[in-house]
Amino acid sequence: MLFLAHIGITLGAAVLLCDAPSWSYSRRKLPQPCQATSTTSFSQPDCAPDCADDNLSWFNSLARQIDYRLILVGALLPDIIDKPLGTFLFPCFFNSNRIFCHTLLFLVIISSVAVYIFKRQGQTWLIALAFGTFMHLILDGMWLIPKTLLWPAYGWAFGRTDISHWLKNVFYALLTDPYIYLPELVGAIILLGFFVYLARKGKLLLFIKKGTIQS
């Protein structure tokens, strides 16, 4: 996938994920039927433990700290690093534009460091980048290239591809291949809807300055 598909679909997934706890919390606030126990004639509510509310509050707190601008960066991070290395700087050595940052190893490392920093310092910036990277690998369908995804399990060399006319092939696919231009269209629609929503709610400047959509 290309630019708009990566950032648009990843942004949409992040917004839905961060809003999910509030939907769940709203449903749990609906009246629940009470169940009578076998030891008493009075009806006693079968209530969920308070820790469930604590978990929702914790996740909501985390979601409010996420910088969506960094999620957009994370959505492109593997390409930002790999394409210059594999396509322009060392094309003869790698002969591929999907190398180190398109691997599961890179995702595990960046996610582990993100969790460590969050637990020690309470910072979420690397979590945003890790989520964007995760979505990038999913949208690129990296499971179809196991030699790269599971590197170095299959050896130290990456799967080689023809990158001699990479940019030309990208433009051609964008015009002719529905697997390319349809995701780009979806990503563009999501981005347009997102920024129109922010503008109507008066939150566009808040997003630009702080990367959040919650005041």
Question: What is the per-residue pLDDT across 81-96, written as a single tens digit (0 to 9) for each?
Answer: 998 988 878 777 887 8
Phi, psi (deg, nearest 5) at residue 94: -95, -40
Query: Are 76 and 3 spatial neighbours (Cβ–Cβ below 8 Å)?
Result: yes
Could you tell me the pTM of the whole model? 0.81
pLDDT at 36: 47
pLDDT of residue 58: 53
Domain boundaries, the chain: 53-163, 165-215
Lowest mean pLDDT among 39-43, 93-97, 118-122, 149-153: 39-43
- In the structure encoding, which two tokens stand for residue 29, read together? 């606030």
Residue type, 81: I
106: three-class secondary structure by DSSP: helix
Nearest in space to 187 (alpha carbons), one of 21, 44, 11, 68: 11
